């Protein structure tokens, strides 16, 4: 993709110095991301594009600019590019997401609306696309490739196939195929994934990957299959193998996983790091507010020993090249004039942000208005759940089982991990119901389809961390069905009622009463409140969840992967207990 100026001849004339350009940024230390040099320069901008960069004398040719802006000796770098991000994970709408990240220097985001696509299909992708138009930043859309993540094991709100790819590829800002999560389907040449990849290639889309914890021949086979990026590297070994195979390693620092350290340890001694890029993947509003966005990832990499100029390349030029964005990611003739002024290359604090040659943020504050737009999608209630009573949250034991029953318990090995095993335990039965009241580490779980299917499934989990009450959420990857973990049926029911009423979100309860609610009425995943308000609600929700026992680093996300049937070894979907490795349902009561 190449962005074109309105009048290329005028840009040519400005480059030659024959006509005055619109703006000159003078008195800056210029970071050249092509050569790695840092030197004094003046940047000339015309019609939102860079016309010329004059090295050396800060006073040279300033008369050839209609306006001269004094950079005050600050360091000028290209605008940051997030190589892979789910806007929905910020729980902000696209316009409010822009307001949150622009002051941190993110001028382009390569987005994957996978989460909301699982809720509302093509309509949701159209919404994310249209809501991002006319912003002072670029939110490029990659078409979700795996909706649902595992067909037949869960019910989502939509199903995507090759025809979907062809239709959505016609949208103005669609640029790629989003992370191809079904890596087994890719390497085994399964028809569904081959058809989707072929459709993307026919449409000229670039292919984002998703290849967790794989090395060797699996990496080679996946690259042969088509995708050429991966943001799922969590170990040094896999980072090395992927980069050696020519795959762009999108080193990720999200609200869930901070993997930059592991990636850097693996690749830091490579003579060439042209396949190292940065992304946030899933970063919540309060983390953006208090920690930062891609600017934080850059600072983290530098703190590990990465050269600042190389880190800036990994946040600018290299993600642009990975996404085949021909004239983004550098401040050079013919490139879009997205750039930042940093205090210096040591602290890497973003002081001023320019997009298309216009100043849009300074000292952490947005300088331009992002008008809100009423969109019909934001008013749709996505909570089409069955009518339930408190009694429906009890777990009925098999008929005739007596006073105890064998149960496949979904067991977490660690409070901070998403993986779980199925462990058969013998649990007491009282009045025909499985009774967990005598074991403080056990909880009930229920996954309720919210797309009108009427399906639901219950189970028992150990090691979740909940000490009392209930935790419920519609942020439940990837189908985002209503998922609740609870100690008593009354608490589970209280959360169900509240989230049904508010159109989705996150809630916790204790003693049959709701303690805190984080409403996310836009698809059950996002709020249309300002990013400051959403950040405050996120902080309050985390505090409430800690009060009922969830002491994880991010208690908000503890429940988010309980129903995700691509994370080993066992999960619970709206269809039942899932054996992830065998890709099949398994019985809750193995001896029934």
pLDDT tens over the chain, length 592 residues: 899 999 999 999 999 999 999 999 999 999 999 999 999 999 999 999 999 999 987 777 899 999 999 999 999 999 999 999 999 999 999 999 999 999 999 999 999 999 999 999 999 999 999 999 999 999 999 999 999 988 899 999 999 999 999 999 999 999 999 999 989 899 999 999 999 999 999 999 999 999 998 999 999 999 999 999 999 999 999 999 999 999 999 999 999 889 999 999 999 999 999 999 999 999 999 999 999 999 999 999 999 999 999 999 999 999 999 999 999 999 999 999 999 999 999 999 999 999 999 999 999 999 999 988 889 999 999 999 999 999 999 999 999 999 999 999 999 988 888 889 999 999 999 999 999 999 999 999 999 999 999 999 999 999 999 999 999 999 999 999 999 999 999 999 999 999 999 999 999 999 999 999 999 999 999 999 999 999 999 999 999 999 999 999 899 999 999 999 988 899 999 999 999 888 899 999 998 7
Which residue ranges make up each domain of the chain?
79-326, 390-586
How far, in Å, CA of 509 to CA of 469, rounded?
A: 5
How far, in Å, CA of 42 to CA of 29, rounded?
A: 9
State the fold for domain 79-326.
TIM Barrel (3.20.20)
- pTM of this structure: 0.95
| Beta strand segments in 375-524, E | 404-412, 420-430, 433-434, 442-448, 456-462, 470-473, 482-486, 505-510, 513-519
DSSP-H helix ranges across 154-257: 162-168, 183-187, 191-202, 217-225, 236-244
pLDDT score, position 493: 99
Torsion of the alpha carbons at 363, 364, 366 and 367, rounded to the nearest 10 = 0
The candidate with the shortest Cα–Cα distance to 296, out of 350, 256, 375, is 350
pLDDT score, position 457: 99
Strands 38-46 and 23-31, sheet pairing: antiparallel
How far, in Å, CA of 551 to CA of 286, rounded?
A: 18
Phi/psi-derived region of residue 71, left when phi > 0, alpha when psi is between -120 and 50, beta in every other case:
alpha
Element housing 567 (H / E)? none
Contacts of 530 (CB under 8 A, 6+ apart): 96, 99
pLDDT score, position 472: 99
pLDDT score, position 149: 86
Contacts of 156 (CB under 8 A, 6+ apart): 118, 119, 147, 148, 451, 478, 479, 480
How far, in Å, CA of 465 to CA of 219, rounded?
A: 35
pLDDT score, position 63: 92
How far, in Å, CA of 253 to CA of 274, rounded?
A: 19
Report residue 36 as tokens: 């790695």
């Amino acid at each position: 993709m190449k962005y074109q100026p309105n009048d290329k001849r005028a840009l040519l004339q400005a480059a030659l110095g024959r006509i005055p350009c619109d703006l000159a940024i003078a008195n800056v230390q210029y970071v050249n991301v092509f050569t790695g040099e840092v030197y004094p320069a003046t940047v000339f901008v015309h019609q939102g594009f860079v016309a010329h960069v004059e090295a050396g004398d800060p006073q040279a040719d300033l008369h050839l600019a209609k306006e001269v802006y004094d950079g005050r000796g600050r360091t000028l770098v290209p605008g940051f590019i997030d190589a892979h991000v789910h806007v929905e994970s910020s729980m902000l709408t696209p316009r409010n997401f822009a307001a949150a990240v622009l002051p941190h220097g993110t001028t382009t985001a390569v987005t994957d609306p996978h989460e909301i696509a699982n809720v509302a299909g093509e309509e949701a992708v159209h919404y994310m696309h249209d809501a991002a138009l006319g912003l002072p930043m670029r939110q490029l859309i990659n078409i979700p490739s795996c909706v649902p993540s595992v067909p037949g094991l869960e019910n989502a709100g939509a199903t995507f196939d090759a025809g979907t790819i062809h239709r959505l590829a016609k949208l103005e800002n669609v640029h790629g195929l989003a992370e191809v999560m079904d890596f087994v389907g890719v390497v085994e040449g399964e028809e569904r994934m081959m058809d989707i990849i072929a459709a993307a290639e026919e449409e000229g889309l670039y292919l984002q990957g998703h290849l967790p914890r794989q090395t060797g021949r699996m990496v080679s086979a996946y690259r042969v299959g088509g995708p050429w990026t991966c943001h799922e590297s969590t170990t040094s070994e896999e980072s090395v193998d992927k980069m050696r195979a020519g795959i762009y390693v999108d080193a990720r620092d999200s609200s869930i996983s901070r993997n930059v350290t592991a990636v850097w340890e693996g690749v830091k001694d490579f003579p060439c790091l042209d396949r190292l890029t940065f992304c946030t993947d899933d970063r919540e509003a309060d983390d953006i507010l208090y920690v930062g966005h891609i600017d934080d990832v850059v600072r983290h990499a530098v703190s590990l020993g990465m050269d600042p100029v190389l880190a800036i390349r990994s946040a600018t030029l290299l993600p642009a090249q990975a996404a085949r964005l021909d004239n983004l990611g550098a401040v050079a003739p013919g490139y879009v004039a997205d750039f930042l002024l940093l205090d210096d290359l040591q602290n890497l604090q973003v002081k001023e942000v320019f997009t298309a040659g216009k100043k849009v943020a300074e000292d952490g504050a947005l300088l331009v208005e992002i008008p809100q737009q009423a969109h019909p999608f934001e008013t749709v209630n996505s909570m089409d759940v069955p009518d339930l009573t408190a009694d429906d949250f009890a777990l009925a034991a098999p008929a005739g089982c007596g006073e105890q029953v064998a149960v496949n318990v979904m067991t977490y090995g660690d409070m901070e991990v998403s993986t779980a095993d199925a462990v058969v335990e013998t649990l007491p039965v009282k009045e025909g119901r499985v009774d967990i009241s005598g074991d403080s580490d056990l909880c009930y779980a229920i996954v309720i389809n919210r797309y009108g299917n009427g399906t639901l499934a219950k189970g028992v989990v150990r090691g979740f961390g909940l000490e009392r009450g209930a935790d419920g959420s519609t942020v439940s990857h990837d189908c985002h069905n209503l998922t609740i973990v609870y100690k008593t049926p009354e608490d589970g029911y209280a959360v169900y009622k509240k989230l049904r009423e508010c159109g989705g979100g996150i809630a916790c309860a204790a003693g049959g009463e709701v303690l805190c609610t984080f409403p996310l009425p836009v698809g059950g995943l996002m709020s249309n409140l300002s990013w400051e308000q959403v950040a405050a609600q996120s902080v309050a929700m985390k505090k409430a969840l800690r009060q009922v026992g969830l002491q994880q680093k991010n208690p908000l996300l503890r429940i988010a992967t309980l129903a995700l049937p691509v994370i080993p070894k066992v999960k619970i979907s709206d269809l039942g207990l899932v054996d992830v490795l065998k890709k099949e349902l398994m019985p809750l009561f193995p001896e029934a």
